[in-house]
Amino acid sequence: MSGLPNCGLGIIPLEKLEELGLESITDFYDTQAHRAAEAKICIDITVFSSGKHLALPTVSVLSKVTGGIIRRYDTVTVGQLVADLQKQLISVQGYHGALRIRTTSLLRVGKASGHFFPDPVQPNLYHIQGCTKHQAVAFDFEYTEQSGLKTSDKLPIVQLAFAYTCLEPYILGQENKQRLRVQRRVRIQTVQCKIASSPPQLYNGADDKVIIHILTNKILKVALEEGLKESRFILQDWLSILLERYNSTVSPRETNLDLTFSKHVKLRNLTRYMFALLKSPLFRTEDIDFDTWTAFHWYIGGCSSSVLSRILYSRLVGWLDLDTCSNEELPLNRVSVETSNSTIFVIDSYLQIVVYYTAKARINQIEFPPSESCKTIFQH
């Protein structure tokens, strides 16, 4: 796409430019997206904006429902586009996926988020027409009884079954040439969940990356339905309530509030993630480029929790040389760089990587720029 849809049944007239926002202008693309998903078609969208409004909030449903990819370029060369397409084609991908989730009788699936298409007939069955190892879906569970799990002596069980098609490389006979063949695979994961008997035990079992992943998907849905300002207020209220309840149950006698969940390591970055999310382009309330917002929303809505956490809060890693890691996860501040014995630092925000050479690296005559074969780049 390099302009508004201007012909056929999906036309968006120029006079509707003033109506462009985060809401969809027409139901046409939503209908076509579900028809394509039912026909097992995966739709990718490549956008060349050049400062123009392209109604991506309306058209993007084609990729969201069918498991396709959205690429957005402000400026792009032919070489860059070809490289991105080649990278996609040679990467491991799954197609025509079917994900079924089962739970014990006292639990049920409440809400689900991600790039999928719910089966119109079978409950708890989701079709994912295209996916990679970096994508994820998230589920909320609800109790089927008001008493929760207290009436059951057995631990709750959740089972996921995912069937998908992929292209598997193989060597053809004596010719020693690599070929590809279609293979259908099934992966089944059964998990027995533990039940927390106290708030501290609940916090011990929580994971800040998973929490921010589920919360981000929920709050983005609120942003689409009620607006960005309302979603910001809800996000701030959620964090305030969490901190108040955490301090009242874990440290009721402390006079100073614990804002970093210091007693629970798995939650130590949650406040940072929340602050980063509020400062991200997703919650900017002024000068919003709706096409950029939609493309970013698509990416955030389908990525895994580990990827999202790096996008929100960059990872700082120290290296003694190009192949020897000294500190895998440093605090993201200047003091870490000044006091560490590392000579090279890598700031990894997933979408962008910065490699910083200190004066020590130049004195030791470490290769610059680093080659693509060295571990500093390879591991990121």
Tell me the whole-structure pTM to 2 decimals: 0.82
Average confidence (pLDDT) over 136-151: 80
Q: What is the pLDDT of residues 251-269, one digit of tens each?
A: 777 778 888 888 888 888 8
Phi first, then psi: give them for residue 257, nearest 5 degrees: -70, 140
- Answer with the residue of higher pLDDT: 211 or 133: 211
Enumerate the β-bridge partners of residue 142: 108
Residue whose C-alpha is closest to residue 370's, from 328, 321, 316: 321
Q: Is the pLDDT of residue 102 over 70?
A: yes
Q: What is the pLDDT of residues 188-206, one digit of tens each?
A: 999 988 888 888 888 888 8
Q: Residue 127: CB partners within 8 Å, gap ≥ 6?
A: 37, 40, 97, 98, 99, 116, 117, 118, 119
Q: Is the pLDDT of residue 379 over 70?
A: no
Phi first, then psi: give them for residue 79, nearest 5 degrees: -60, -40
pLDDT confidence bin for 366, thresholds 50/70/90: confident
Enumerate the β-bridge partners of residue 188: 161
Phi first, then psi: give them for residue 68, nearest 5 degrees: -85, 180
* Average model confidence (pLDDT) across the chain: 83
Q: Exposed, middle or buried: residue 348 (CB in 10 Å: 0-12, 13-18, 19+)?
A: middle
- Answer with the residue of higher pLDDT: 141 or 179: 141
- Answer with the residue of higher pLDDT: 207 or 21: 207
d(CA 217, CA 342): 37
Q: Is the pLDDT of residue 162 over 90?
A: yes
H or E stretch at 113: strand 107-113
Q: Is the pLDDT of residue 151 over 60?
A: no
Q: Is the pLDDT of residue 163 over 90?
A: yes
d(CA 285, CA 238): 19
Percent of the chain whose predicted confidence (pLDDT) is above 90: 11
pLDDT confidence bin for 289, thresholds 50/70/90: confident
**How high is the pLDDT of residue 378?**
56
Q: What is the pLDDT of residues 206-244, one digit of tens each?
A: 899 999 999 998 888 888 888 888 888 998 899 999 998
